[in-house]
Amino acid sequence: MQAIISVNKLTKTYPSGLRALNNINLDIRRGEIFALLGPNGAGKTTLISIICGIVNPGEGQVLVDGHDIVKDYRSARAKIGLVPQELSISMFESVWATVKFSRGLFGKSPDDAWLEKILKDLSLWDKKDSRIMALSGGMKRRVLIAKALAHQPQILFLDEPTAGVDVELRRDMWDMIRNLRNSGVTIILTTHYIEEAEEMADRIGVINKGEIILVEEKTTLMQKLGKKQLTLQLQQPLPQIPVELNHYQLELSNDGNQLIYTFDSQEDADIAGLLRHLGNLGIEFKDLQTSQSSLEDIFVNLVGGHA
């Protein structure tokens, strides 16, 4: 499938001399939800800002649905909606006026029915005549989303969309984002809530210090990098791990009641072998459970490893 956004050898150095992006290559697939993860200052916002036309690109090229973001900026930008990280919104306007403004700014003729639909989807309809300064932080962020959707973009960038949004609304927002994806919108989001990426993303990219260090299907990533653990509750506490079991990655809990076996992926796991060995040694267990590391653990490992 042809990529809807294609970033080629993009390098950005700010006037201060700081290199925020270093030789970024990234393809976003049409219709996917792509989560861009990375620690503070990694370059997520810079990358998004360049694609959207807010920051000048340095070297390299970005194509949005085949349109160069510099030479053919009108066609490129018309396809994109952006929800910025900062709550930048003019405070004195009414909600309705500001979404109407956004639609016009992107060159679309007025369509009040569409604006009504998105305000309703975002539970903002009853606030449509309120001034923005009278809204709560979470409501303001939803107004920003409404503004970004006002011109019916094919691509939506969400730079930390759920920062400051309460748990219930966050779930609503996830539903809304999924619905958008189902209607064909490609979504690129950044977040510091890894569970959000885990919950929603089709693919995950990790950026650190201006470099993309990984792009992977979420499920593959979790399989490949997700550590699994098998915990055995022993009948009798063990004083130490028997030497016969040395070639397994085993840990013994402090009280000696639990034996923990950690394995990286399905392939190199030898659970059957371990259990056979335990049987031979006469070590009995009363219960067993497995757990899988979350995306968060994976992320911390990755970024920590590159730091």
Partner 1 sequence: MNIHAIKAIYLFELARTWRTLMQSIASPVLSTSLYFIVFGSAIGSRMVEIDGISYGAFIIPGLIMLSLLTESISNASFGIYMPKFTGTIYEILSAPISALEIVIGFVGAAATKSIILGLIILATARLFVDFSILHPFWMLGFLVLTSVTFSLFGFIIGIWADGFEKLQIIPMMIVTPLTFLGGSFYSIHMLPPLWQTITLFNPVVYLISGFRWSFYGVADVNVGISLAMILLFMLLCLFMIWLIFKTGYKVKT
Write out the residues near ligand ATP by the rule CB under 6 A: 14, 16, 18, 20, 38, 40-46, 85
What x/- string results for residues 8 through 47 when contact with partner 1 is judged by CB under 8 A?
Answer: ------xx--------------------------------
Give the contacts of 98 (CB within 8 A, at least 6 positions apart).
89, 90, 132, 143, 147
SS (HEC) of 137-186: HHHHHHHHHHHHHCCCCCEEEEECCCCCCCHHHHHHHHHHHHHHHHCCCE
**Interface with Mg ion includes 45 (CB under 5 A)?**
yes
Q: Looking at the chain, how many residues does it have?
A: 307
CB of 45 to ligand ATP, least distance (A): 3
**Interface with partner 1 includes 108 (CB under 8 A)?**
yes
**Interface with Mg ion includes 191 (CB under 5 A)?**
no
Cβ atoms of residues 124 and 142 within 8 Å: yes
**Interface with partner 1 includes 89 (CB under 8 A)?**
yes
| Piece of 37-45, 168-176, 204-212, 249-257 that binds Mg ion (CB under 5 A) | 37-45
Nearer Cβ to Mg ion (85/257): 85
From 29, 37, 27, 4, select the one nearest 198 (Cα to Cα).
Answer: 37
| Piece of 31-39, 42-50, 138-146, 287-295 that binds Mg ion (CB under 5 A) | 42-50
Site of tokens 């056979």:
276
From 40, 46, 5, select the one nearest 22 (Cα to Cα).
Answer: 46
176-198 burial by CB neighbour count: b if 16+ within 10 A, else e? bbeebbeeebbbbbbbeebebbb
What x/- string results for residues 42 through 81 when contact with partner 1 is judged by CB under 8 A?
Answer: -------x--xxxxx----------------xxxxxx-x-
* Partner that binds at residue 62, options partner 1, Mg ion, ligand ATP, none, CB closer than 5 to 8 Å by kind: none
Query: By three-state DSSP, how is residue 79 classified?
Result: coil
Binder among 38, 43, 84, 205 for partner 1 (CB under 8 A): 84
CB of 287 to partner 1, least distance (A): 55
21, two tokens: 């992006």
CB of 58 to partner 1, least distance (A): 11
Interacting residues with partner 1 (CB under 8 A)? 14-15, 49, 52-56, 73-78, 80, 82, 84, 86, 88-93, 97, 100-109, 147
Q: Residue numbers of the site for Mg ion (CB under 5 A)?
A: 44-45, 85
